Amino acid sequence: MDSITGKVTETLGWNTDQKSEAYAIDTPKKDLKDGWCIPHSFETYDQLRVFVHGERGKMGLLKGHHDDRVMALSLANIAAQQQDVGEILFH
């Protein structure tokens, strides 16, 4: 249900409310620190570099940057953990 128009819509994608976004960011943050998640792409590291703590401690991007690689890394990392896949290389 669209909260503005009140119409039923079909929206595909990740629910980016504050709770799901925090989970999506906190999980790989720990795994990156512990060495369980190691990206092998300069572009991914570049996006991770501009993911910062904003007001009230909320994680977010610096203005004008994208997060598609960070979100892909996060979701793949979470899926690999849940399925006990082991190491996944991110290029």
Q: Tell me the pLDDT tens digit for each residue of 16-36.
A: 666 777 777 777 888 888 888
**In the chain, % of residues over pLDDT 90:** 0
Residue 58 confidence (pLDDT)? 67
Element containing residue 10 per DSSP (H, E): none
Tell me how long the chain is: 91
pLDDT of residue 90 exceeding 60, the answer is no
Counting beta carbons within 10 angstroms of the beta carbon of residue 27, is it exposed (0 to 12), middle (13 to 18) or buried (19 or more)? middle
State which of 17-21, 75-79, 86-90 shows the largest mean pLDDT: 75-79
Strand partners, 90: 39
* Phi, psi (degrees; rounded to nearest 5) at 61: -90, 155
Residue from 51, 67, 69, 47 nearest 59 by CA: 51
